[in-house]
Structures are given as structure tokens and as C-alpha cells.
Structure 1
């Protein structure tokens, strides 16, 4: 049997007027060839990964669904590092100590010098220094609220590496909510400052003011 034999299907050439690559007479167009199951892509075409088959077996893998923890702070996307942990009580205490020193030390220093110069009269250069110290403390208080609302970090939190965010979305608080949270610290102070100690045993490491304002404090990975 030669390859030119018309009875040889492997050597049969397309008939006169029949373009190459077109199905022959009696073969419906759009049907899969012999041995190719219907609805399946041909050789060389990408296939959709069966459910549960990992990517290393040659199938593309859908991106994982991110699940929020606790009240909803979102996880970091895959490839951008792990989800930042909640800040424990020691980091929170250290950042607040730094903020308090930044705000109060100049105030007491200028106030003390002013009172010493004015002999308790509150006038003259001593009175001006005391007033400057008071204005500095008030201005720094509102500046810290602005920074925490816009970025989640006061000066102390930035040095320590912590950040205050909304529990539901992981976004910064904004100035208004940051101010309300500072006022809510009054609740932390009553009953022997138990609210400030609450993060030691709380699952979400929240103070009473955090629970009232739906906020969390996270520790950033550095």
C-alpha cells in the first residue's frame, strides 16, 4: 500500500476544489475530531483548573478570599507580607508615655521657669513663658489628634511602630473620631484606670475607649 493509494486514509490528499483545513464531505463543521470529547478544548489550549487542584499541577489558581479577623481589620494581600498583629499592652503603654512626655515636659518646664521668674505673681516675662507653655500643650494635644486621625499614628505611635485604625475597615479614624476617642479615655480612667489595663487580657487588646469607638491598635512589621 503506497501513500498515494486512495484507500490509504493517511496519504489521502484533499479533493479538487476542497481547501486544506476544511472538513470533508459528510463531516459536519464545528464537531470535535475522533477521540476528542465534546466541550473540551483541543491540545495546547489552557484548561480551567478543577476545583481543589493546586496551582503547581499546571492550572491557574484563583486569588484567595481575604477574611478579616476579629471585628474586621483586613488582612494584607498575598505577597505583601503577613497580617499585622494587634499591639499588646506594652507597646501601647510605651507610645502613650512618649506622647505624654512630648506634651507635658515643655509645659511644666516653661511653666516652672515662668513661675520662678515672676515669684508667683504670674506677670512679666515669667507670665509670658507660662502662657507659652500652656499654648504649646494645647496645640500639641490637637496636633497629635490630627496626626492620629489622618495617619493612625501620633509621634509616639510612629516611633514605636503602632497604629490606630477602624476595626471594621482598617482605615484611619479621621479627626472627628480621633477626638471622640480621646474624650472616651475618660471612661478608661474611672474605676482605678482599669480601662487602660484591659488590653492585657482582652482578645482584641482593646481599651474601653477602643470598644466604644470600634477601633484597634496594630503593631506594624518593620
Structure 2
């Protein structure tokens, strides 16, 4: 098994992927549903629809990419990959999709979804020995260097 990925690389990979999906889907959805102002109560529904579509697009993107190669575009650029804990294999199929779902879909739950997401992504800072986030633990994966 390659060495564990640096947490900084993991964070940069997530930022790259979030921008790669969030910006185009957000712009497209804003064009489809019209502009909105999050400070106006009557525009809150539009904002929620845009956020929901961005979240679901990210889930599909990550599930497809992890199942195919264990890497998203951000992970490829940061030279890291997701591997199955037991044997280092690509998390093809169910593990890749389950990992993506555990990362993305809890955010659909109002209020506590964000709290779960925050605990999830910070979990790798104190987890030993594999520096796994909760979505890694759920799917039995680790993030390793792809060098």
C-alpha cells in the first residue's frame, strides 16, 4: 500500500473538485431558475433548488470517478487516490458510491446535515492510524499517494 496522502493535498483536491462542479452547475442552474437573492425570503426556494442540484451533481461526479479510477480530477492533480483499506484496490462500484453518498447526501438534512459534514471532514485530523474521514470509515477506504 502506498503511503497515506497528505491532509493538505486532500483539502486542495476537494477545493478543486468543488469549484469544478459547483461553478458550472451553479451558473447553469441560476440561468435555468433565474437569479436569486438569498436575503429575500421569496428567493430562498430557488437558492435551495440550486444547492440541491449542485450537491447531487457532486455526488454523481464523485461516485462515477471513484468507481472508475479511485480519483477525481482534483485527486489526479494532487497526485492522490482513494484505495480500499484491505488491499489498495480501486473502490469500484458499491464502495465508491457509498463513500460519495456518505460525503454528500447527509448535507440534505436541514441544520444537522452541515454539522455531520463538518465532523466528517475534520475526522481525519485526529483519526489514527489511517487518517480516515467518516466517509472513508463507512466505505472502508483510505486516501493514499498516487506518485
Give the TM-score of the pair, scaled to structure 1.
Answer: 0.48
Q: Matches of 1:92 and 1:200 in 2, distance apart? A: 11
How far 1:144 sits from its partner (Å)? Answer: 3.2
How far 1:138 sits from its partner (Å)? Answer: 5.0
RMSD: 2.8
Q: 1:147 and 1:94, CA in 2 relative to 1: closer, same or farther beyond 3 A?
A: same
Pick from 74, 82, 88 the counterpart of residue 156 of structure 1.
74
How far 1:94 sits from its partner (Å)? Answer: 0.9
Partner of 2:131: 205
Aligned residues: 123
How do residues 177-196 of structure 1 correspond to structure 2 at under 5 angstroms?
Answer: 177-185=95-103, 186=106, 189-191=114-116, 193-196=118-121
Q: Matches of 2:114 and 2:58 in 1, distance apart? A: 21
Q: Which runs of 5+ in 2 are unaligned?
A: 36-48, 108-112
Partner of 1:91: 9
How do residues 1-222 of structure 1 correspond to structure 2 at under 5 angstroms?
Answer: 74=1, 84-114=2-32, 115-116=34-35, 138=56, 141-185=59-103, 186=106, 189-191=114-116, 193-203=118-128, 204-221=130-147
Q: Which runs of 5+ in 1 are unaligned?
A: 1-73, 75-83, 117-129
Larger radius of gyration: 1
How far 1:147 sits from its partner (Å)? Answer: 1.8
How far 1:220 sits from its partner (Å)? Answer: 2.3
Deviations 1:39-83 (A, max 9, x none): xxxxxxxxxxxxxxxxxxxxxxxxxxxxxxxxxxx3xxxxxxxxx
TM superposition outliers: structure 1 runs of 4+ over 6 Å: none
How far 1:102 sits from its partner (Å)? Answer: 1.0
How far 1:151 sits from its partner (Å)? Answer: 0.9
Give the TM-score of the pair, scaled to structure 2.
Answer: 0.70
Deviations 1:111-161 (A, max 9, x none): 334414xxxxxxxxxxxxx99xx5x87556424322211211011111111
DSSP 3-state at the match of 1:216 = strand
